[in-house]
Structure 1
Amino acid sequence: MGHLVRFTSPRNAEVIEQPYARPAVGEVLIATRYSGISAGTELTAYRGTNPYMSHRWDVDSRLFVEGQPTHSYPLDGWGYEEVGEITEVGEGVDTELIGRLVWGAWGHRSTAIRTAAWVEPRMMPEANDDAVGIFAKIGAIALNAVLDADVHIGETVVVFGAGVPGQIVSQLARLNGAHVVVVDLVPERRELALSLGAHEALDPRQTDVATRLKELTGGRGADVAIEISGSYQALHDAVRSVAYSSRVVAAGFYQGGGTQIRLGEEFHHNRVAVVGSQISGVAPSLQHRWDEIRMSQTVLNLESSGRLQLAPLVSHLIDAREAARAFEMLDEAASDVLQVVLDYRAG
């Protein structure tokens, strides 16, 4: 028997047994090695605050509407940061795939069945650590935010949030030639951002971020702000921090109402453009060249070449059968917790 993680009710996770399946014609069996826990989207499901659990998402109208919620407890195998090994192939599939590592989203479960066509573009490149495969999708989310930001060489970019996606965003913006300022409440995360190449890291409790950005830019303000923490206060500070007629990329997963945002202030007077960034789509001007697969491949190839550091983002490696403890740890938001990874190698 294999196993998977089940959310049974708000803030309750269990590990339950799952029967092994065999690959059919054209399919492969993937044995999970590592599974990363998203401290954003996944925690909204764990806590019960995800809008899919209170409303129905109407695919045709692309609106949240009243009615039976799209998701409800129990939720099985939630998650989208996995890497595993192909251990068996079905009829018609090249046996040379056995032993290859693949990344993808199949949730917190010890095995998964996918088609050979699905795994083909998701083969792991050479990496310093196989576990970095868990960053494929969160890396794509970060890269999508940077593409939406349209960063240019010599620009000042302020990144609000130094969690996992913020750390990746900061590195990618620096690779684009930007002067990167990171904003976060947690000292350890600010220190990590600086060690990974950010030029400055600010504590918003100690520094008026907008004033500091004006000082750094000769009174102009940041060329672009990327808010990826999901904090409404941070989103308001991001609006305050950018230059006249500039852009704020809102990439965080915001929960509830945003009373901290005051649209009659800098947003209105400075003609600030707020752009929503979400992994279901790419900026219209780039859709003919970029998609999620390419973004994930790019992030992993940048890691493989040494230009992007992902392994330092892993703060905790926990046996997959201890998943309940891992979610409790993330929910408590201790300062030393960044990327929690479930380890399936013990079986």
Structure 2
Amino acid sequence: MSSITAQAFWTLAPGHGALRDESLSPPGPEEVLVHSRYSAISRGTESLVFNGQVPASERSRMRAPFQQGDFPGPVKYGYANVGIVEQGPEHLLNRAVFCLYPHQDRYVVPQDAVLVLPSGLPFERAVLAANMETAINGLWDAGPRVGDRISVIGAGVVGALIAYLCARIPGTRVQLIDIAPQRQTLADALEVPFCLPHQAEGDNDLVIHASGSPDGLRTGLELAGKEATLIEMSWFGQKEVSLPLGEAFHSRRLTLRASQVGTVAPARSARWDYRRRLSLALDLLQDARLDALISGESDFKDLPESMPRLFEHANDVLCHRVAYPQTDNFAQGR
């Protein structure tokens, strides 16, 4: 069988990317060929990758599952792809699947690298799976309890998902905090209370920081009550962060803890693996209210021009979706 032609988006140098042709070998007996329908751009991590800001010390740990090339570039990076299986085992053929794959119109992966979408979950919303997986892992690290007072700082995609999940725990008092007043609209869509930092109530049992800003982390320390835990979900790349760990940090006996999705939270690692966690994330995306997290869409062919613009105006971006051209046979497929 002849090779298959594909196109992929590569970051060639900081702030500059291009589409490159790829030659794929036909899938083997335990592999699938996926035709992409949508992928999603992670505003936080992908902006650091695209702008060449991954620290040298973290370049090995920050590799995506199917990344090609090395930081700072040329590198093919990404981890939120939804498509249709064009070739593969009978039980997967023509099925809609999610894969932690970079921005590419067709790709071949082992069949166990894809997860079939739950019935009724649209392609368009399924691109949020990697973000939901991050939110799940963060809550496993945080361990919220019935009745907790919880502050979530940063109304980006991950922060909003965390607040959305926390608000559904009985008896909790959740506040989603952001410096941008327009995030009120998002919070209303998710049915989560919203406030600006100066309006936030203190003495919280749990604070989760996901704003990507040192100022947000400092606010988190101020809002934590005695013996409270602050979970840090932001990744600052090469930025140094100074914190007021004098003042009442010690007298309130606060716990500051990092959470990162690359490792299953220790509290669940004995029983959960990556595949089961991602499957849960897809199941939790069934709520149509989560469509509010999609802030825009552009065509795959325009990605070299649209990627720099997205990160230039990052404050307005939540989840940006990338749409791929379809053939007649698969345009309506599920």
TM-score, normalised via structure 1 length: 0.85
Structure 1 residue aligned with 2:283: 301
Aligned to 2:251: 269
1:113 is matched with which residue?
108
SS in 2 for 1:213: coil
Amino acid at match of 1:19: S
Tell me which residue corresponds to 1:82: 81
Tell me, yes or no, if structure 1 residue 327 matches structure 2 residue 307.
yes
In 2, are the aligned partners of 1:157 and 1:179 still within 8 Å (CA)? yes
Q: For residues 11 and 292 of structure 1, what CA distance do their matches in structure 2 show?
A: 31
Amino acid in the other structure paired with 1:84: G
1:280 and 1:335 mapped to 2: Cα distance? 25
Q: Tell me if 1:47 matches 2:56.
A: no
> Do the aligned residues in 2 keep the contact of 1:318 with 1:342 (CA within 8 Å)?
yes
Q: Provide the C-alpha distance between the structure 1 equivalents of 2:103 and 2:60, rounded to a whole number of angstroms.
A: 26
Contact 1:161 1:182 in 2 (8 A): yes
Q: Distance in 1 between matches of 2:276 and 2:249?
A: 33
Q: Find 2:295's aligned residue among 312, 315, 332.
A: 315
* Secondary structure class of the residue paired with 1:281: coil
On the 8 A contact 1:182/1:190 being kept in 2, the answer is no
Moved more, 34-43 or 110-119: 110-119
CA 315–105 in structure 1, closer or farther in 2 if over 3 Å, else same: same
- In 1, are the aligned partners of 2:38 and 2:83 still within 8 Å (CA)? yes
Deviates more, 1:163-172 or 1:122-131: 122-131
Q: 2:94 aligns with which of 80, 99, 103?
A: 99
For 2:289, what is the secondary structure of its paired residue? coil
Structure 2: how far apart are the matches of 1:266 and 1:333?
36
Alignment match, 1:6: 10
CA contact (8 A) 1:279 1:292 kept: no
Give yes or no for contact 2:97–2:116 (8 Å, CA) kept in 1: yes
8 Å Cα contact 2:164/2:192 also seen in 1: yes
Question: 1:32 corresponds to which residue?
Answer: 36
Structure 2: 5+ residue runs without aligned partners?
63-68, 328-334
Q: Are the aligned partners of 2:98 and 2:116 in contact in 1 as well (CA < 8 Å)?
A: yes
Judge which range, 234-243 or 281-290, deviates more.
281-290
- Assess, with a 3 A threshold, how the Cα gap between structure 1 residues 56 and 294 changes in structure 2: closer, same or farther: closer
CA 186–316 in structure 1, closer or farther in 2 if over 3 Å, else same: same
Cα 1:332–1:56 shift into 2, 3 Å: closer
Q: 1:243-254 maps to which residues of 2 (within 5 A)? A: 243-254=225-236
Q: Hey, what does 2:188 align to over in structure 1?
A: 194
Using the alignment, how far apart are the partners of 1:157 and 1:16 within structure 2?
45
**Separation (CA, whole Å) in 2 of partners of 1:279 and 1:143:** 9
Alignment-mate amino acid for residue 325 of structure 1:
E
Q: How far did 1:58 drift?
A: 6.7
CA shift digits 1:115-166 (9 cap, x unpaired): 22333xx110023521222111111101111121111122111111111111
Aligned to 1:233: 215
Is 1:129 aligned to residue 131 of structure 2? no
Q: Secondary structure at the match of 1:143?
A: helix
Counterpart of 1:156?
149
AA partner of residue 167 (structure 1): A
> Over aligned residues, Cα RMSD in angstroms?
2.2
Report if the CA contact (8 A) 1:55-1:70 is conserved. Answer: no
Query: TM (normalized to structure 2)?
Result: 0.88
Call closer, same or farther: CA 1:272–1:258 in 2, change over 3 Å: farther
Amino acid of the residue matched to residue 175 of structure 1? R
Tell me, yes or no, if structure 1 residue 278 matches structure 2 residue 260: yes
> CA shift at 1:335, angstroms?
4.8
Shift of 1:298: 1.8
Q: What is the correspondence of 1:175-190 to structure 2 with a 5 Å cutoff? A: 175-177=168-170, 178-190=172-184
Distance in 1 (alpha carbons) for counterparts of 2:99 and 2:274: 11
Rounded to whole Å, the distance in 1 between the matches of 2:57 and 2:270 is 32
Shift of 1:46: 0.4
Give distance in 2, aligned partners of 1:182 and 1:143. Answer: 17
Structure 1 residue runs of 5 or longer lacking an equivalent are 63-68, 215-220
Alignment match, 1:345: 325
Q: CA deviation at 1:315?
A: 1.4
Equivalent of 1:256, from 227, 238, 256? 238
* Contact 1:139–1:295 (CA under 8 A) maintained in structure 2: no
For 2:6 and 2:239, locate their aligned partners in 1 and report how far apart those are by CA, in whole Å. Answer: 40
